[in-house]
Amino acid sequence: MALPLTAGTPVASASAGGKLTKYMEPLPVPGAGIVVATQSGPDAYSFSQTQIARRLHPQLPKTPLWAYDDGSGLGGQAGSFGMAIVAQSGKPLDVQFKHNLPAIYPNWLPVDERLTPLGDQVRLMTHLHGGFVAADSDGSPAVTPNGFGPDDIQAVHYPNDTPAAQLWFHDHGLGTTRLNVIAGLAGAYILRDEFDTGAEPNPIGIPGGAYEIPLVIQDRQFNPDGTFRYPTSDIPGVTWIGEYFGDTMLVNGKVWPYLNVEPRLYRFRFLNGCNARILSLGLGGAPMWQIGAEGGLWDKPVAVRDLVLAPAERADVVVDFRRLAGQTLVIKNSKPTMPVATPAPQLTQVMQIRVGTSVTQPGPSSVPDTLPGRAADLPDPVRTRYITLNEIGTDTNVWYLNLNGLHFDDPVTETPRAGTVEDWVYVNMTGDTHPMHLHLVTFQVVGRTPFDEEAYEAAFGTPTGVPGGNDPAPFATGPMQPPDPTERGFKDTVKVNPGYFTRIRARYVLPAGVTEPQTYVHHCHILEHEDNDMMRPFTVTG
Ligand SMILES: [Cu+2]
């Protein structure tokens, strides 16, 4: 089958997406537009990363995409987010990813060769986000910085030795994560257990089956030829841009889709899959209870009005449409309120929900009072580390971001001992919120403390930022604020807001049978920041 060749096609300067008619096509869901991956053998999957083309909106030409093919040929993939793995807690999987993409980046993916180990070569590396795996199965730029090239196979082992949760897998190429994810290399990884079976009824008493809907939200721009538009910098010598913001919203890989629902309870599983946009989502008046986040289910539901999700954050939510029969709702995205800060231009409309008038299967009649999950409640730490977030040379040709004033490939400085609990305090020296993500662990959000950033910088600053290791407590300007009610459980990504230092607590346990030392990474999940250079290794030691 011939695919559109885009290398050599001039990239238009204006986006074609913002004027598209909204709510023309149905939301892809697993089994209808999203492929539920088929195993290649017992407890094994064999994917290839490959280029396909799909029409993401009826008024757009087909968009070339990079996709994970499970061997099916992806006839069941409707949009730019098209693959889901369903895994069972306690049941390990062996997974392979074979690079079957072009060797060199096409024009529509503007690589910045200052940031990559091998120039304009397409080097891939799949990371299971939220996975509890050995370092050499993590898809880690600290282990395989050059990634994987054409025809290479990345073979990984996922123990799945954690409770049910909504994970995702996405590319993590060093210096190219923002481009590889824009191109389409992201998929869902739904981990089930004996409580969270996905069926209806289930032991938890929450909606299941066709009434559980993943909602992966990604903002994008388009060129008139249908390719994704990724702008380049207007700074001479620089291609990289500080943040990517789209002017159209894609949900599950389709532009501004609609979803038909019945007037009953649903389970919506939100994932912010944007490169840089922090979402603040409202459901048009439908009552919502959050029941879990990145680390799985909580011990009890929490009523919520707006869901403020930074890139990579997830929210597991029960929504009640029973009083909304016959109505049409819109999921809207508003500007996040302080202290969350982001330079994103407004993009309000997300998707439409059409509530029908009849119910096929009644499902649960109420939201359960208790859940089989956990509130995060770790014991006191044996050690506290202070990690700074710096932005250097903004809007100049040496613009980059860093942690602790160090580059990614400087020697490891964070070395927690296996099995111990540590507090990490992220000290934000920039003007914006950064969603910090740790590989390997899930963590408790302990709290956020306002502080005098200028005085702290005056005391410790250098031309490459404030180094790590300096306790900001003497510079506090108020008491520590407790975590938000939606930060009740274990998380793997936390909003580190400007004007505050943010304390998280984790136990640095390794998977069964994995011996220290093991090196992972922690980084900002704004993909542009991660690519330049807001990422550092850490080593779990003996
Ligand atoms: Cu950041």
Kind plus residue range of the DSSP H or E element containing 425: strand 421-428
Task: Work out the angle at residue 10's Cα, subtended by the Cα atoms of residues 8 and 11, and round it to the nearest 5 degrees.
Answer: 120
Q: Reading across the β-sheet that carries 349-355, which strands appear in turn?
A: 258-261, 349-355, 328-333, 279-282, 307-309
- Dist. CA 484 → ligand 1 center (Å): 20
Ranges under pLDDT 70 in the chain: 1-14
Copy the structure tokens of residue 193.
């257990």
- Dist. CA 433 → ligand 1 center (Å): 7
**Looking at residue 7, what is its pLDDT?**
36
- Dist. CA 426 → ligand 1 center (Å): 12
Using DSSP's 3-state secondary structure scheme, residue 454 falls into helix
- Dist. CA 537 → ligand 1 center (Å): 16
HSE-CB of 93 using CA atoms within 13 angstroms: 24
| Distance in angstroms between the alpha carbons of the first and the last residue of the chain | 53
- Dist. CA 402 → ligand 1 center (Å): 9
- Dist. CA 159 → ligand 1 center (Å): 30
- Dist. CA 1 → ligand 1 center (Å): 40
**Looking at residue 17, what is its pLDDT?**
77
**Looking at residue 18, what is its pLDDT?**
77
Q: How many residues does the chain have?
A: 542
**Is the torsion defined by CA of 309, 314, 319, 325 positive or negative?**
positive
Residue 38 burial (C-beta neighbours within 10 Å; 0-12, 13-18, 19+): exposed
Task: Work out the angle at residue 99's Cα, subtended by the Cα atoms of residues 128 and 529, and round it to the nearest 5 degrees.
Answer: 50
Kind plus residue range of the DSSP H or E element containing 540: strand 535-540
**Looking at residue 1, what is its pLDDT?**
37
- Dist. CA 435 → ligand 1 center (Å): 6
